[in-house]
Amino acid sequence: MPTVAIPRPTDAELKRTNQRFYDALWSGARLVDPSRFNTWPMVRDLAMALPRRLEIAPGLRPRLPLDGTCFVDISLAALQALRAEGASAIRGSISDLPCPDASFDLVCALDILEHVQDDEGALRELSRVTAPQSRLLLSVPLHESAWTSFDEFVGHYRRYEPAQITERLASHGWTIERSAVYGMQPSSGLLLKLGQWSLSHRRERAMWWYNRVIMPLGLYLQKPLRWQPGLPASEGVDEVLLLCRRT
């Protein structure tokens, strides 16, 4: 696989990018019920069987049930909206979880590990707060060769090669039980550039269109997800959903 030169922001730059993007996104968004996502059929029974649950950085797109799940996020707008729906929501980050050791049996961290410079530290925190034989629901973007300027724009620090994420999880005591194709690389580079330009130069209007038009349409057009054993061949897959067991 060819080597891809990816710009690496400093930790401070990465935090500013993430804070700026997601503060703008969540401040104008409405909370979407977890049952509306295509992840719901895959996690519903798992969540019911594992009542000690934590979801990290859900924003206003939580995937675990609002009732009984502890949510951790850095966004005040997201925390306020979650609490308004009766959810337990506290401020914190994946790098420093405000949770006791071994306190959860199911932890969900979707679209977050790629935003963290110190992903080893984040995985240590995930392992610290999980009990033996717990489950981890994780999603990550794949293939550095698929990197675009949009990755940088939304605050990604990396994309993972399949072997890399498998080995990194294993080093922290996690085994990938199942996986599902969670996204595909956008087919239109022009639309990608247009979206990035709009978010850079017409941020308020772009966020309005995303939250009021694009997001509802995306929910309507979602395709069902399907679990596969382990992590099979992933050529052409933009993002993967992983269900891991702590051993």
How many CB atoms sit inside 10 A of residue 41's CB?
Answer: 12
State yes or no: pLDDT of 206 exceeds 70.
no
The distance in angstroms from the start CA to the end CA of the chain is 32
Containing structural domain, residue 54: 11-185+223-246
The whole-number pLDDT of residue 154 equals 78
CA distance 241 to 226: 10
Mutual angle of helices 11-27 and 76-84, in 10-degree steps: 40
Is 77 within a domain?
yes
Average pLDDT over residues 169-173: 97
Average pLDDT over residues 153-172: 93
Is 197 within a domain?
no
CA distance 182 to 237: 8
Is 239 within a domain?
yes
Better-predicted residue by pLDDT, 81 or 153: 81
Is 139 within a domain?
yes
Is 92 within a domain?
yes
- How confident is residue 22, by pLDDT bands cut at 50, 70 and 90? confident
The whole-number pLDDT of residue 195 equals 57
- How confident is residue 1, by pLDDT bands cut at 50, 70 and 90? very low
Better-predicted residue by pLDDT, 190 or 123: 123
Measured CA to CA in angstroms, residue 109 lies from 53, 61, 95 at distances of: 11, 12, 12
Q: Pairing mode, if any, of strands 88-91 and 69-73?
A: parallel
State yes or no: pLDDT of 193 exceeds 80.
no
Is 218 within a domain?
no
Q: Which helix (H) or strand (E) holds 134?
A: strand 130-141
Q: Which of 11-20, 171-180, 218-227, 229-238 has the lowest mean pLDDT?
A: 11-20
The whole-number pLDDT of residue 157 equals 92
Is 203 within a domain?
no
Query: Which CATH number characterizes residue 40's domain?
Result: 3.40.50.150
Better-predicted residue by pLDDT, 99 or 223: 99
- How confident is residue 184, by pLDDT bands cut at 50, 70 and 90? very low
What tokens does 59 get?
Answer: 């924003």
The whole-number pLDDT of residue 42 equals 92
Q: How many structural domains are present in the chain? A: 1
Are the C-beta atoms of 180 and 42 separated by less than 8 Å? yes
Are the C-beta atoms of 138 and 109 separated by less than 8 Å? yes
- List, for residues 88-130, the tens digit of each pLDDT value: 999 999 999 999 999 999 999 999 999 999 999 999 999 999 9
Give which of 160, 72, 77, 75 is closest to 109, Cα–Cα: 72
The whole-number pLDDT of residue 216 equals 75
- List, for residues 40-57, the tens digit of each pLDDT value: 999 999 999 999 999 999
Give which of 90, 76, 92 is closest to 26, Cα–Cα: 76
